Structure 1
């Protein structure tokens, strides 16, 4: 026995404390509607952990507290206590008796207790997991939920099977583990962010320490190189001033030549324009004449089409008129024929009327004769009926007496049969009891306890050995998985670091550009991307590769602005910035590539030709992209590089770059990797190295996993065998105890049956004597009744003959009367028909006259339409002649207009060429003028530069211009000096502000970095262990679910057949691949019906199907007790009996059943009966009855 007591106080309608004690077998709870029976189900569900107030039929939490009535005040708390016997240790606690209590106050505060010890509600829910007694399981079915089992969707129905498979606890553990993994991931992200930040700080601190020593040396070298560059500027300034003077003289000569040419072209343009105007006017005249001819032709053609249509309409009308005339003629002929037929009908009807009058007179005479004979027979019939009535009354009296005695005789026979059957039944029961007595004695003697206990010990030793092996293998697998994770992280760390630094540098450039424009708004400074008007989408990613080194460069008009930028760089902590001065670019003599010399169809073109930009930046993009050749694919790039290596930089559209020095760069052109700056080959080499190591480890893990799986199967098999042995031992002990009890009961029952058999034999003899007396009286009554019946038959026969004669006479009279009426009606009908035919003859004559008039009108109309048709045909011929004439005139006019158009086109093209040439000359003139103006500005600028250089040298370096000659050999070239300065300044800028505490800070951060890395590794290990736990949970849950589902499937079909006395019930899982998440369908086929969806079953069939499923789940995993609230509501008496038979079956007799019911049959099957009443308004009261067996 598992469930012991249930105490309820203040819960819903239980305003006073009640206590229910439960024994083995079936406990029924009954009572009228609304008395609070279902509140017991709600109380049990609530104390077991139900939190959804709607499922407890409430709106808010405090609705479950007793709310009072007109006499009782509302209570401030509700309390439910459930006591269970745990001697079999089904619940994982050491106590043999466990009391679960839950309490709620009006404030909403709740308390939970286990054996009086406060606990969390979660602990109660976890305690009953996998017992079949947690909330919303198949063991506790609330009112109306039996229908929801079938109406629920397949995924919603699977929770019943999970509880039966005892995997709800696994699902709960999996959820907790997944929540922990989520928290672990958050912690890992936080630590990873901190580690990344510290790593960046370490790089910075290390660089600060290294650059501290080289700072002063770099500053001295920069000073010398700057003086060398100033000398170069000074020398360049002198050279440029002489060049500018020569250029200005050449520009003036070119301007004079262009002005003269423009004047000549303007004269030619004016002459051509006048000639074109005259030709245009002449062409317009011919076009207008051609247009007029076309219009006249269209008008005549439309009129011709109209005439043709009219002709068609007239011909159709003529056809219809001829047809109508023929029809009228035919109707006149038919009218003549009808008139002759009507005259013949009139003569025939007159003859029929005369014949019918003769028949009528004969029928009236025959009717009067038959009526007199019928009167005499009626008198004779009345006298016979009076005699017959007297005989019938006596016969009825005798019949009733006979029935009374027969009934008494039959009752005696029935009672005698019952007694005999009862005697046979008692004799059989007596034999069965004797047999059972010997069986119970035999069971008590037999036991396999010693053998089962030996097997149990052996299996437990094997299980411990396998557990140790599995732990070692799992630890090794976990270690290998952790190594894989570390190698994956190391593989990505370099790429991630480079990407982070590159992005930061780009962001710094953007910030620098924005701040510089705000501080120096007058300095013409712009990013190179701003000068590009359009990049075709096809070449967008390739251009980013081609301009990779210059993409974030700043373009200035004059090199003098670079000084402000240099000072501003150090203020904004930017390591490097590329500046492109347009004044220097302009003097570079560029030799852009010639695509014509390269013969290959897969060449897209030189990079500067594939983008759109302003003409004034042409020199800039020729310098940057003039020697960059874009091709379609890698093969073309390789072919061209064999011949032109060193002359062009070649880029393929799929990201391969062949540099002029022969080196090759590989770039990804995908969206995700377009910003990547690492070499393809380098990354591939690193990936291959780590992937080879990871692959080896994965093979090792797979081999260990296979061994683990094999041992797991052995472990599960042994564990299952142990459980079966334990169950057999318990069942064996219980079976022996039950057999001894049953033996004692059988002995008592045997004696009772013997006494009952003796009493039945005495009662049987008394009934036989009474039956003999009643049999004699019945024979006397039968004889007298037969004599009277014979006399009654003779008189009845005579009356029947008289009745037949009277009936035949009446039938003859009725037939004659009917014939007379029919003849009168026929005569009247023929007279009316005669009048109608005469009227029809008159109508036919009138109809003929009307059609004759109509025929004359139709023939007149025919004549008019024939004349109209002749006129239309004449007009059509005239229109055709006009159209032919216009068709001859039109081509000559059109041809003349085309000739003038061709001359006009040639002259226009000539004019356009002259105008375009003039525009080009003007552009050339403006270009020369601009160049001349720029040269003049440059002359002024260079003169200012000459003065500024002298002031700069004197101010910054305290030197005169003459002493600059000393620094002219410091470097080999200006480019080399700039490169050295850039390198030195880059080093200084990278160092930034010197930090003398860098070394100490570096060591502290390194120690912190190592500590966090160890912590990160430990958390990763814990995460991997949790992930392995989830896999194990899923594997165990899947196996248990499959096994339970197959059991339930078999049991469901068996129970379905028992309940319905045939048919078929099937369970189908929706997806075998995802068994832990797929729904379950129910297919039911009651006997004599086709397989159908459960929605098409009747309410009774649905209830029985749901009960069959509950019983199958119960059988697959028997729960200690079950509480069913009105599951038999939809069942009739026969099906209710079937249900009680199933509930009391041998498979389920070890489980406590608590049934809330209205069915009498279910009450009769109960061992204990509780009644719920509501004597006081709103307060439920308990009444109990225990039945003796």
Structure 2
């Protein structure tokens, strides 16, 4: 599997959709600083699940979204997609068969990340899980970025261990272990909660048992209370019935009195009606007189109002005449004023028009002069721009050459300084004396022989390992047997509880009774049967509850014994009853032949045949007599015209459960014996281990001392050899470097000469351009001054022309308005004159009608006096009739009040009767609700019983019920329900304990596999580091060391000693040495577990050319198995790449990709 391409959009500086293809195993990403090369590494790390913004060189996760530039706006989201080529099917699981796998991550401004796997939305965990064990991940050893080299080397032992685990492929085991531990924690919590529930349930069962007893007592008292209450209700019914009869008599008397009162009231109503008719006639006559009186009043008022209105109109006409004459005079004066104003405005308008013509001509001339001045300025500006453009080129050339000369001079100084140091080092190496280490070699050979002999003795007699292995095996077997013992004990307790419940042995009162009668030790029928295998369900279907029967000798004395039997079901079987099965009429065996017992069972199994299956039984069913039946092996029981199916499981079968209990007793006995033997063996093995450990410790101490001396001699000898080898290699390197420095100095001195010549030519061109610049600057001031004068003159002419135009418009408007006003006033004068003439005529004509209206008024006043007298007489007659009618009305009201009183009394008596009736019916309903008949209760009532006695008895019963305290009427049902729940929870507890044991066993397996894989991987990586480190450094040695004893959590430390150094810690190495050590470690991991690809971000930056060459050769060598994508500025590293991917930033803040295939470029150059 390898990385095929990366697709970016909106990620950091890659704002445009960009695809980066990786066609080969050696791809180099190059480009200047700040162009966005490292953003490619960040994109890969981010899409593989990185959740820390700090590791992506940001503060917030949204910092990976393009935030805009000087020419572009920010975007709303960023996305990165990695496409993998999986032709080798390295990925496992459901994606193993895909030849191409893509993972994608997208984030928006709300910091909401979305992951996609092959285009399907998924979780971050799905992304990380798919790469577990492959070496890929957000923080794995496959991505080495800037700064990670030092972090890798200087990391804590626990952090360095993570890389070893990833190489070992045990990260997935750690995830599984973590999940398993979480499940174990949840299981233990569930067990604790379940134990609490079971304890609480046990307390509830005890409490419910007490409540059920109280509930039974409560039922007895309540029954007595209901009977007493029924007697009381019957007595009350009798009292109400007598009261109802008395009320009925009173109601009859009241109804007679009400009828008499109604007759008297009707006579009065007739008299009132007659007076009402007379009153209507008198009222009509009075109305007619009033109408005539009011008509005359209206005529008089109308004439008086007309006279008054006529006088007011005359006064109004005189007032209008006066006001009209006054307005006419005023309008004539205003008309004369407007005439004079028109003459004045005409003269002013004639003066303005010639002056406006002159001003507009001057304005046009100024505009022409301004346009000419602006054209002159534009021509100058164009000339100035062309001059600057010509002069800029030599200036830029001069700046570039000056900078280049300065850089070349600094480079030459550095080269000379370096050549000086190299010559001094060459002289020192030439003066070093050669030395030998023959003595050390002889001592080394002798010590190695002694150490090998001691190790051989220890390995050949490794009694400690054998003892520990035996103890571990013994402990494992012991743990397994103890687990089996606990499981068997739990099953036995559960089955015994179920068996006791099934046999009716869980009733405490019944058990006490059986113990008191001496039946507690008697066998139950189910316990004395021996049933052929496979026929248990058949026998249980036939015997049913008889299996619970107590087996006794004789049933003669049971009549007296059963007198005080408590609540519950109980059955007995006489073991002395002699009855044998009679031969059957069918060609089938009897079920009794399948059952063995110490006494006869014929009476229980008489006439019942056994069939293998239902079809066989159905074939004989029509031959059965009424007293015969057939039962099948699986428990189907059928007779003549009937069939009974009892489908029960083995756990619910009393017979099969008895067999299981017997098997468990045998198993428990065997397990306890095996455990006792293993414990004795373990004690003996521990004593043997102590002896072997003492013996091994003495041998190990001798080996350690010899090994220490051997290490010191090896270190001295390695130092001698390394120094000699390093000196030879270093002399060759120095000669080569001095030669290269000489060529470099000559080349740069030549380049300085060429740059100085180009600089001189640029300076001469700049001097020539200075004269033209001064001339253009002088002309600029002249053009600007002329333009300013033209603009000022044009502005003044425009302002003056505008002012005269406004004045002309104002005078013309005033003239027009004044003429219109004169026309309106002339019309108004004419209308006022006509109105004056009209008002004068109306005033003269208004005097004649006034005299006639005054004569009509006198006549009407005389007529009103006669009608007023008639009105007074009519009112007197109406008042007399109304007085008589009011007297009759008073008598009628008195009769009505008497009637109402009688009706109210009648209503009260009827309400009493209805209330008594309702109470009677309620009492009957209460009796019916309590399942009593009224007549039956009355018939059995004692003659001397009273309501008071019943109430007193009810009060006593209530006190007795109250003394019982709170009663749970559902206690009996609740007790049964909670008992069933207790059985269910006990089974759950067993299941959880089994699940916990399974999970703990899984943890042990995972730990064992983890230890094995980690140790194997550690040893291989350590061996690879020890062989690879000298290749990279040209000598020296490095190794890995575990900081702890337990392979599950021990840390890993790295020690590296370059040639000629004996540093005590890794932190004393230089930056380049740390980088080379990190490369050696990572490549050792890659040799063991090659990751699909490796990304290196300027890892070669702190290395010199010689080490860069080694690093590049190593990368090229490993590219046969690993795809390398490396970012570099070093030309030596670039040379090994097959593909160069250039990152450019032509547009500020925006990165783009330019790819170059090295092989194709070489072929093109060769052509």
TM-score by length of 1: 0.35
